[in-house]
Amino acid sequence: QVQLVESGGGLVQAGGPLRLSCAASGTIFSINVMGWYRQAAGKQRELVATIATGGRTNYADSVRGRFTISRDNAKNTVYLQMNSLKPEDTAVYYCNVKYWSTSISYIDLWGQGTQVTVSS
């Protein structure tokens, strides 16, 4: 049973930094894409950033230049460094991992979410 454990959310003042982590535990054959999504109150979940196995990254326009996604393949962990945070970044942030299981099934797994609140 693969699980995602997120950490690092919390309350921060506008302009401050915050770092999120998400570790995948369990038996995994190969991880493909790791990423972060967020959902603000009353809004749909949206992509924040993704990173592929080879390191190729993709960012939402709203966070490009402020957020940096990275991954440690040896630890099956993805990070999101968030700088220059704005009140509009307030949301529940969800980790997402797409991987192949040992039975070569392609799995799309979500974390439980971590709250990020940016005060003005």
pLDDT 10s digits, 86-98? 999 999 999 999 9
Question: Is the per-residue pLDDT at 1 higher than 90?
Answer: no
Burial-class residue 103 by CB neighbours within 10 Å (0-12, 13-18, 19+).
Answer: exposed
Nearest-CA neighbor of 119 among 10, 37, 35, 43? 10
The answer on pLDDT for 104 being more than 90 is no
Is there a contact between 28 and 99 (Cβ–Cβ < 8 Å)? yes
Residue 33 burial (CB < 10 Å; 0-12/13-18/19+)? middle
Q: Decide if pLDDT at 73 tops 90.
A: yes
User: For 15-57, how does the pLDDT look when each residue is reduced to its tens digit (9 = 90+)?
Assistant: 999 999 999 999 999 999 999 999 999 999 999 999 999 999 9
Share of the chain above pLDDT 70, in %: 100
